[in-house]
């Protein structure tokens, strides 16, 4: 690819980055976990900045309600309910063909984190749930890989950078908030500009760290509300008794804590079912299901069909996403009836 030498000129002119910083970005390998609104904006900024490799991890598909703020997707992606990591990669390839992209249609868990995050030099948070964030924090501290936290809901959000030997997420927030009392994008809505600002702050921390300026990253957390205009700094102090970086008890990464096996997803109207030990043979399953289900599609990374008003997407790692219900029992019944237990 004959990319123009001037592509990064305006970034190299920044004395904080320069040619050395640009070369460091080229060597960086950033895992973007979750490619919703935050991950979309973040991955776009990192690809344009010339980060050498992006590992794109997402478990979901594009829905119409995503288009208001998830900037990597368009109406064709929603129409076809494309897996987000795949649609994001196609868009990012057009943005900057020099970036190496690794696509993972997967739900990050204690089980697959070592494999999916292998080789990452930085973790960028685009998730919508605390179980994954606490898992990322554990991985960051244990493996000494920087982690940039980002979260947004309603009109406000929070950004924080965890760098080796600095305070971690659990120094400030030892336990995740109670899910039953925590607003989500589905329950409280989300203001598109709040996402853009929070994602911009997070990408800024990521680019500082990845360009070789980790000391310029802001320790602790920053809260910002786009509606009221309020912003403040929180928790920049390391807690020697922190369960993660202090006592080094990696309970999320070791799978002693985490998300339930079958779960309703944040977007609503969908249930995720975990895969078994063996990966399914999608082509063989496609042949088996031919003529027994509606709208069967067999692709390289997933298989999809409709049955009784529900839509089932089976990914190559064995995980299934059932849309049209929030009842795990109904989702499990569909999976057992069609694909098998």
Residue ranges binding Zn ion (CB under 5 A): 168, 170-171, 242, 244-245
- Minimum distance, C-beta of residue 171 to Zn ion, in the bound complex (Å): 4
Helix and strand numbers (H, E) in the chain are: 12, 14
Whose Cβ is closer to Zn ion: residue 225's or residue 249's? 249
- Minimum distance, C-beta of residue 229 to Zn ion, in the bound complex (Å): 30
Catalytic choice (168, 171, 185, 244): 185
Whose Cβ is closer to Zn ion: residue 52's or residue 220's? 220
Question: 3-class secondary structure for 132-158?
Answer: HHHHHHHHHHHHCCEEEEEEEEECEEE
Contact 227, 191 (CB under 8 A): yes
Whose Cβ is closer to Zn ion: residue 168's or residue 265's? 168
- Cβ within 8 Å of residue 203, ≥6 positions away: 41, 42, 45, 46, 49, 124
Can you tell me the distance from the alpha carbon of 32 to that of 180, in angstroms, rounded to the nearest whole number?
A: 27
Q: Which of 231, 199, 179, 336 is nearest to 273 (CA)?
A: 336
Beta-sheet pairing, 100-105 with 122-125: unpaired
- Minimum distance, C-beta of residue 177 to Zn ion, in the bound complex (Å): 17
**H or E, element range at 323:** strand 320-323
Whose Cβ is closer to Zn ion: residue 85's or residue 245's? 245
Contact 294, 307 (CB under 8 A): yes
Whose Cβ is closer to Zn ion: residue 120's or residue 245's? 245
Can you tell me the distance from the alpha carbon of 34 to that of 57, in angstroms, rounded to the nearest whole number?
A: 6
- Minimum distance, C-beta of residue 111 to Zn ion, in the bound complex (Å): 24
Whose Cβ is closer to Zn ion: residue 28's or residue 168's? 168
- Minimum distance, C-beta of residue 242 to Zn ion, in the bound complex (Å): 3
Contact 194, 34 (CB under 8 A): no
Annotation marks residue 168 as catalytic: no
Q: In the bound complex, which residue of the shown chain has the CB atom lying closest to Zn ion?
A: 242
- Minimum distance, C-beta of residue 133 to Zn ion, in the bound complex (Å): 13
Angle at 301 between CA 40 and CA 117, to 5 degrees: 55
Residue with tokens 């063996």: 278
Active site residues: 185
């Amino acid at each position: 690819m004959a990319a123009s030498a001037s592509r990064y000129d305006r970034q190299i002119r920044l004395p904080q980055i320069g040619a050395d910083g640009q070369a460091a970005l080229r060597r960086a390998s950033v895992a973007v976990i979750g490619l919703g609104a935050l991950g979309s904006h973040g991955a776009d900024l990192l690809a344009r900045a010339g980060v050498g490799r992006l590992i794109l991890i997402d478990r979901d598909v594009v829905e119409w309600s995503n288009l208001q703020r998830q900037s990597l997707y368009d109406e064709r992606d929603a129409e076809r309910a494309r897996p987000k990591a795949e649609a994001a990669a196609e868009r990012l390839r057009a943005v900057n063909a020099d970036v190496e992209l690794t696509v993972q249609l997967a739900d990050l868990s204690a089980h697959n984190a070592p494999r999916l995050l292998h080789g990452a030099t930085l973790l960028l948070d685009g998730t919508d749930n605390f179980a994954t964030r606490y898992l990322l924090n554990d991985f960051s501290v244990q493996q000494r890989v920087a982690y940039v936290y980002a979260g947004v809901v309603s009109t406000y959000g929070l950004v924080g950078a965890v760098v080796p030997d600095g305070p971690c997420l659990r120094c400030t927030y030892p336990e995740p908030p109670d899910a039953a009392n925590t607003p989500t994008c589905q329950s409280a809505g989300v203001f598109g500009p709040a996402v853009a600002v929070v994602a911009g702050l997070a990408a800024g921390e990521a680019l500082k760290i990845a360009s070789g300026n980790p000391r310029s990253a802001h320790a602790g957390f920053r809260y910002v509300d786009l509606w009221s205009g309020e912003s403040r700094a929180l928790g920049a102090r390391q807690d020697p008794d922190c369960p993660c970086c202090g006592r080094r008890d990696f309970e999320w990464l070791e799978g002693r804590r985490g998300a339930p096996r079958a779960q309703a997803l944040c977007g609503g109207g969908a249930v995720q079912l975990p895969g078994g030990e063996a990966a399914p043979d999608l082509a063989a399953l496609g042949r088996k299901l031919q003529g027994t289900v509606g709208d069967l599609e067999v692709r390289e990374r997933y298989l999809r069909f409709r049955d009784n008003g529900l839509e089932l997407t089976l990914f190559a790692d064995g995980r299934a996403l059932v849309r049209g219900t929030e009842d795990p029992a109904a989702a499990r019944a569909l999976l057992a009836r069609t694909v098998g237990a």
